[in-house]
Structure 1
Amino acid sequence: MHELWRKDRVIEMADNRIINYSGRSLCDNYRHPLERCQTAAQAIRLYKNCISWALQERYPTKEDFLAFASKETLAENGVYIDMEFNGERIDGHVCCVFLNCKGRISTGLNVNKAIIPMIYLSDGSNLEIEVNDDLLNPIPVELYYGSIATSPDMTKLNIKDNNALTAEDNVGFTEDELSVDPDINNESL
């Protein structure tokens, strides 16, 4: 089920928000695909296509998300905002984003979808992440803006701490990276 969403609000934000590192609004490589999005789920997938950049830039913000989609729609699409977890299994998306979330989650290989999630924490998230599966490689976790990740077995996490990075450090994309059209239809993202 696709919830009706505020596309007009999203386009307005894209046109009027100044991106920190460039001093401009959203680039055409993401602005044009945003115009093609017919659902909130597609707009969320577009966000996840450039997740590291988006988290460093804090664009869109939690408030931006909540202005165009419900917390339920966001969570169904792997973006969790202001939530408290108590051991829930999170493995339905390749890219799982937590903004100001607390508590404990479990994750690992989703056999049905052939997914091992990448976890992104920002806006002061503090999660204990339990990896229930014996995987060949640790689960990738990226931290932004005062976030913390712990685990009963830290060898099962590969943590990249970006808490000290600023938007000024965010140099954007190369021309080759910008030439790839973002995939807004990949439901696993």
Structure 2
Amino acid sequence: MLDQRGPVIIADPGPLLRLAAAGLLDAIRLTNRQIVIVDMVELEACHRNPDKPFAKEILEWIERSGEAVRRVETVEGIAYKALQAREPTQENLARLKKMQRDGGERAVRDFIEELEPKDIRSVLVVHEDQQVPKLMRASQVPLHLMTTRLFLQSLARQGMKIDVSAAVEAIKHVPFTLAEAEETRIRPFDEPDDAGD
């Protein structure tokens, strides 16, 4: 049975790419929380350039994860697909390019804004993009944001069999950069901090 605290949201393609490079995509499931991947993050990680490294592995992992991964359609993703279907004029192509910048992060924000605060104890947001904490500031639900490196470190501290040093080395050899271990907690106004999250 899944943990009822709230989902783990992958805020940008960075964590998926880095975990795939380290052979640790299944580590996300060790949280025992539902994993949310919004349409724009999946599009960027798997579909926009399907021949890029790890796109196929990530898509296969999403598909074989079944109900553990919730694929979410967002307003941002719907708008992007509608624009893609239009005639490829210079103006439309420029709009598409603009939508691609931080599109996944905006789609995640759209999803978080739809969550009912009374139903959510805490949402874990894993990211590599340093803009994510700024984009999530207006959340009405408690958020615990962490970089991929801190996510792996926290799993290791909980006793999961994850060799963080080996993962970091594998990611470096791809080569990908890996954000430092950082976290941000965002609490709605008048929400007490819960050390148990």
| TM-score, with length taken from structure 2 | 0.29
Q: Which has the higher strand share?
A: 1
Q: Which has the higher helix share?
A: 2
